[in-house]
Amino acid sequence: MRMTYLTPIRKRKKKNDFFLHPAFIVFAICFIISIFFFSGASRAVIYMANGMRNFLDRIPLVAYFESKAALSEENAALKMQIQQALSSQGVTAALQNENATLKASLGKRVEQTLDANVIENPGFSPYDTLVLNKGTDDGVAVGNKIFYGSLVIGEVIEADSAISRAELFSTPGKTFQAKIGSEKIEAEAEGQGGGSFVILLPKAVSVSKGDPIFLPEESSKVFGFISGVSSDETNPFQKVFFTLPVNPFQIDEVSIKI
């Protein structure tokens, strides 16, 4: 009796079912798609990209955007130049103002005062003059104003190297402009000597004893006070008398504005 041996069923299944295995099927499908579908899609995409490039080459869109970018850069550069110019102008203006201020301060003479002793007063010197122990070596010059405290009383008329001579405003015959009262009425005053003065005013001008007298250049400081008023019916003017608030014979120290 001849015996027939059959191949085991499990081994035959493995050999015949390999191509039917799910993993193999998925791999095959992906391979086919990649060959036929994606290769065609890639060609389509390349074709469309080439067509879009040809289309863009026919219109000036790229040139437009490039031109716009160039204009923006140029505009920014111009704005920067304008800002720099404005800044430069501001600095120039500031320097010009500073220069003008410095010139003004240099050109303006700084006033100083110098104390001086009276070595001869009106009791020994000519009438209503003072001899002082300061001269040109100390910076004294003709025309310098003489002060007694805050009161201006005269001016330098002569100056040597070591001494100077000042004339009081009350020197006989010396005239100057004065202002009278709170309304500061302008009038000409004349020295009468000994620290006294006289002013002629129309009778219509109302003044009273005790009214203050001012000098134009020192209008905030009292120069003297009215000591009396005299008038008569035949004269249309009235005489106004006033004196210095200090006795010139007792002045022993003054200050000179140089």
Q: pLDDT tens across 50-109, in order?
A: 555 565 455 555 555 566 677 778 777 777 777 766 666 555 666 666 666 666 655 555
Are 13 and 73 members of one domain? no
Are 226 and 171 members of one domain? yes
Measure the CA dihedral 244/250/252/255, to 10°: 0
Count of domains forming the chain = 3
Find, among 138, 88, 97, 94, the residue nearest to 116 by Cα: 138
Q: What is the CATH number of the domain that holds 253?
A: 2.40.10.340
142 in any annotated domain: yes
3 in any annotated domain: no
What is the predicted pLDDT for the residue at 101? 67
What is the predicted pLDDT for the residue at 106? 59
User: What is the distance between the alpha carbons of residues 152 and 170, in angstroms, rounded to a whole number?
Assistant: 12
What is the predicted pLDDT for the residue at 114? 94
User: What are φ and ψ of residue 179, in 5° steps?
Assistant: -125, 135
Q: Which domain holds residue 238?
A: 113-257
Using a cut of 0.75, tell me whether the model's pTM lies above it.
no
What's the pLDDT tens digit per position in 2-11? Answer: 554 444 444 4
4 in any annotated domain: no
Q: 64-76 burial string, b = 16+ CB within 10 Å, else e?
A: eeeeeeeeeeeee
Are 94 and 173 members of one domain? no
What's the pLDDT tens digit per position in 129-159? Answer: 999 999 999 999 999 999 998 888 999 999 9
